[in-house]
Chain A
């Protein structure tokens, strides 16, 4: 399932095109601009790290890219489709098909085993049980957890939990893997293991957007976008792309 970049070869243009994007929050009488006219383009099969100090608009941008939020102004095209003016149900559908989320705290459902956690997005797609079990198993094998299918999160190590979460993100064959500090809760060795996994996923065609404040994690990407005060401060390829681990 990882050999293709997922569902989204809808058009030949860039996967993500962001034009003059604004996000403004009202904090009482004061308006706070989290994004101030941001422009950003992300190609298919990109491997990009978004970095910046807190308050730079990282999280806001990630939420917008992930279709969890809508911008105050500006346009956002995902896979050639304008998604900045969709309603809640449509956004849920787009998240379900196009975006695979990976969170710092994993966000696994503690009551359920790995298999159910991974098949969850497919349930909301209305996929028949046989098919979605098969896909979930396949995704778990792709992250080398084929032997932990019926373990619950509390029976797994931190690295294993994050790999279950990555399998959950991959199971829908999304256009985009969106990882928010994916190694923030992991020790160094496990972080490397997870980053190696991202390298492999990138190599097999996935588009990966990484939000992080760790320099060495960001350095694993092919391109680093640094934000400051709601705009892109720097946008450059990494000096020496590291060789894939496998």
Chain B
């Protein structure tokens, strides 16, 4: 009940002077707001990446000309040295890598897609073989996917992303209609279900056509992405090694030379992502630490002022039997209450920020439920740490001197 009273005292003085309280707690508010906001964004991105990575299932990796390159120099070097991947490379992988149980090729270009007087610009036109279905299955809205037979005979058939179909055929059933891609006419065989967007980039703005047909239109110089699936997740690394060996042999690379192609797996993307968030988190912790220290010092200052203002009260409390530890506890509870009040405001602010990020930007932000607990823990620590000195000062006051202070 004594503790409750200390909490009440602290809250009452906070409410009595809102502006001063706000300024006092600003450091703590900012610190908690930023940590919770950053945690929300990272948490949201994590959920997103996890969802995105589930497209690239376990045991799957993608071989491409460049891959994921950590810096500009390596990127330029890769551009200069790496050879485009060809269908022959994919065929070699399929033939000579026993652990490559599925090998699918895909190649991309941006083009306009039109139906009668309607058109959609900058559509991702993908030339694929039907194997891709065994790696990245498309859920069907209507119709069907491309068949291996259509790929083999370079048929003029197209499978549309949800957004393209929606724009070209707002009311019509697209099946059997003919769309134009770069002047060539394709019969629509099916439409994919809506997949949403990542970071504001639509994942429904595509057209898939047979890779053979694609190469007739765009030529075969463009590099392929070759998706490879190992028979099980544990076989991912050995499968990568086999593919690497086959491609290096085909490209006549000397023993010491770097790969002239890139290999990306869900694991690799995950690693990259973890590194990124670790950096983000480190920066956040630094910023938060700084503002919590500043906030703590301000709270310490306010508490020192309170000890001076309330010297007579401390004297009286001691006279009627408060022990030094009772006084210390009272002032510690007050500083923790102050600090936690700032923390709760910060959590509220961060919640609002997360909500508006979700509503107005493509950044996914998911407010984790443990964030308020983290905030309370941090604020309690700050309150105790920076309250110790004022509380000790109050506890050590001589009651006779203190009573005289009024």
* A interface list, Cβ under 8 A from B: 63, 66, 68-69, 88-89, 92-93, 95-97, 101, 103, 105, 107, 109, 111, 120-121, 123-125, 129, 168, 172
Which of A69, A93, A111, A172 has a CB less than 8 Å from the CB of B400?
A: A69
Question: B178 at the A/B interface (Cβ < 8 Å)?
Answer: no
Cβ contact within 8 Å between B1 and A124? no
Cβ contact within 8 Å between B323 and A109? no
Instruction: Write out, one digit per residue, whether chain B residues 322-360 have a CB within 8 A of any chain A CB (1) or not (0).
Output: 111110000000000000000000000000000000000
Please give 14 more A-B residue pairs, beta carbons under 8 A apart, in addition to A68-B319, A93-B321, A120-B317.
Answer: A89-B323, A89-B324, A92-B318, A92-B324, A96-B320, A97-B321, A101-B319, A101-B320, A105-B406, A107-B319, A107-B406, A120-B320, A124-B2, A124-B321
Tell me which residues across on chain B come within 8 A of A97, comparing CB atoms.
321
Tell me which residues across on chain A come within 8 A of B168, comparing CB atoms.
none
Determine the distance from Cα of A172 to Cα of B317 in the docked complex, in whole angstroms.
Answer: 14
Chain B residue nearest to A96 (CB atoms) is: B321
Main secondary structure of the interface of A (DSSP, over half): helix
Determine the distance from Cα of A84 to Cα of B406 in the docked complex, in whole angstroms.
Answer: 27
Tell me which residues across on chain A come within 8 A of B323, comparing CB atoms.
88-89, 92-93, 124
Cβ contact within 8 Å between B403 and A92? no
A202 to chain B, nearest CB (A): 21
Instruction: Write out, one digit per residue, whether chain B residues 289-329 have a CB within 8 A of any chain A CB (1) or not (0).
Output: 00000000000000000000000110111111111111000
Question: B12 at the A/B interface (Cβ < 8 Å)?
Answer: yes
Tell me which residues across on chain B come within 8 A of A111, comparing CB atoms.
9, 12
Determine the distance from Cα of A92 to Cα of B324 in the docked complex, in whole angstroms.
Answer: 9
Tell me which residues across on chain B come within 8 A of A125, comparing CB atoms.
321
Tell me which residues across on chain B come within 8 A of A95, comparing CB atoms.
318-321
Tell me which residues across on chain B come within 8 A of A101, comparing CB atoms.
319-320
B406 to chain A, nearest CB (A): 5
Determine the distance from Cα of A89 to Cα of B328 in the docked complex, in whole angstroms.
Answer: 13
Tell me which residues across on chain A come within 8 A of B321, comparing CB atoms.
92-93, 95-97, 121, 124-125, 172
Main secondary structure of the interface of B (DSSP, over half): helix
Cβ contact within 8 Å between B403 and A107? yes
Determine the distance from Cα of A129 to Cα of B4 in the docked complex, in whole angstroms.
Answer: 12
* B interface list, Cβ under 8 A from A: 1-2, 5, 9, 12, 312-313, 315-326, 399-400, 403, 406
State the 3 A-B residue pairs at the shortest beta-carbon distance, nearest first: A96-B321, A121-B320, A124-B321
Determine the distance from Cα of A92 to Cα of B399 in the docked complex, in whole angstroms.
Answer: 10
Q: Pick 14 A–B contacts, CB within 8 A, sort by A.
A: A68-B400, A68-B403, A92-B318, A92-B321, A93-B323, A95-B319, A96-B320, A103-B403, A120-B320, A121-B321, A123-B1, A123-B5, A124-B322, A172-B321
Determine the distance from Cα of A168 to Cα of B316 in the docked complex, in whole angstroms.
Answer: 11
Determine the distance from Cα of A107 to Cα of B323 in the docked complex, in whole angstroms.
Answer: 18
Tell me which residues across on chain B come within 8 A of A68, comparing CB atoms.
318-319, 399-400, 403
Determine the distance from Cα of A127 to Cα of B118 in the docked complex, in whole angstroms.
Answer: 84
Tell me which residues across on chain A come within 8 A of B5, comparing CB atoms.
123
Determine the distance from Cα of A101 to Cα of B313 in the docked complex, in whole angstroms.
Answer: 14
Tell me which residues across on chain B come within 8 A of A121, comparing CB atoms.
320-321
Cβ contact within 8 Å between A107 and B316? yes
Tell me which residues across on chain B come within 8 A of A168, comparing CB atoms.
320
Which of A63, A69, A124, A129 has a CB less than 8 Å from the CB of B320?
A: A124
Cβ contact within 8 Å between A107 and B400? no
Determine the distance from Cα of A105 to Cα of B312 in the docked complex, in whole angstroms.
Answer: 11
Tell me which residues across on chain B come within 8 A of A89, comparing CB atoms.
323-325
Determine the distance from Cα of A88 to Cα of B5 in the docked complex, in whole angstroms.
Answer: 24
Tell me which residues across on chain A come within 8 A of B324, comparing CB atoms.
88-89, 92
